[in-house]
Amino acid sequence: MTITSIGYERAISYAELGVLLAHAGTMYSVFQQDAFAVAAGAGTREVTVQPGRAYGWGVLDDSDGVETLTGVAVDAGSRWDLVALRRTWTGETPASSLVLIQGGPTAVIPSRSTDPGDEDDQPLALVRFAAGQTAAQEFIDLRCWGGDGAGFVARHKLALDYLTRIGSRVRIQGVTWVLAYDTATPAWVPESPYVGSTQPPYADNLVWVKVP
């Protein structure tokens, strides 16, 4: 598996610039349905990351094959680790690579590198490993997709924890969330009421109308 990148500190062609600018405008994104998707691998505590294209902080990455990462054994209980695409600007050869960052017993994004221009981690998924189990037990997809017309889509509400640009709009499971100044500090709020026959799974701060 090889990750080819454009946007680090080197000259780029007009063709490369066109591709890069077409995907710019978001903090992070992936560009195909299965790009950098994370799933269980065949070996002990292995996870696989699918090939595809991703963007973050002015760098466009193309992965040409499946990558395998291996988690560290869990002594007791469960541990949620973060699969991330790490971009490193420092050193002799700036490059992007896939990493598995150890987390804790709850499903939250653990501490990660957040220093563009030095080292920065783009979250892809949380994976739960359990003591005494050889396979990953659970996955939470943290990827997001940026489209035309300022369209932005994610699959799980935890993605909002790392999307921190004020004014961002993200559609997740039928609800559009906005990072806005509705209070003294910016917070994610639903842009419009949710209409349905049952209460949505994430009801915190969500206005919804029940349809008979």
Q: Is the domain of 74 the same as that of 178?
A: no
C-alpha span between 146 and 171 (Å, rounded): 11
- Are 85 and 145 part of one and the same domain? yes
When pLDDT is cut at 50, 70 and 90, the band that residue 35 belongs to is very high
**DSSP string for residues in 130-177:** ETT-SS--EEEE--EEE-GGG-EEESSGGGGGT---TT-EEEETTEEE
User: Do 160 and 177 sit in the same domain of this protein?
Assistant: no
Check whether residue 35 and residue 113 sit in a common domain. Answer: yes
Q: Is 67 in contact with 37 (CB distance < 8 Å)?
A: no
Query: Which residue range is the domain that position 201 belongs to?
Result: 165-212
pTM: 0.88
Q: Token digits for 136?
A: 């990953």
> Looking at the 3D structure of the chain, how many domains does it have?
2
> Are residues 133 and 209 both part of a single domain?
no
Answer yes or no: are the C-beta atoms of 123 and 27 closer than 8 Å: no
Q: Are residues 105 and 205 in the same domain?
A: no
Domain co-membership, 200 together with 181: yes
User: 119 with 152, same domain?
Assistant: yes
Task: Tell whether 118 and 192 lie within a shared domain.
Answer: no
Q: Are 204 and 190 in contact (CB under 8 A)?
A: no
- Are 11 and 113 contained in the same domain? yes
Mean pLDDT of the chain: 89
Express each pLDDT in 78-95 by its tens digit.
999 999 999 999 988 899
Contact 36, 63 (CB under 8 A): yes
Q: What percent of the chain has pLDDT over 90?
A: 61
pLDDT digits (tens, 9 = 90+) for 92-123: 889 999 999 999 999 999 999 999 999 999 99
Q: Are residues 29 and 125 in the same domain?
A: yes
- Same domain flag for 173 and 158: no
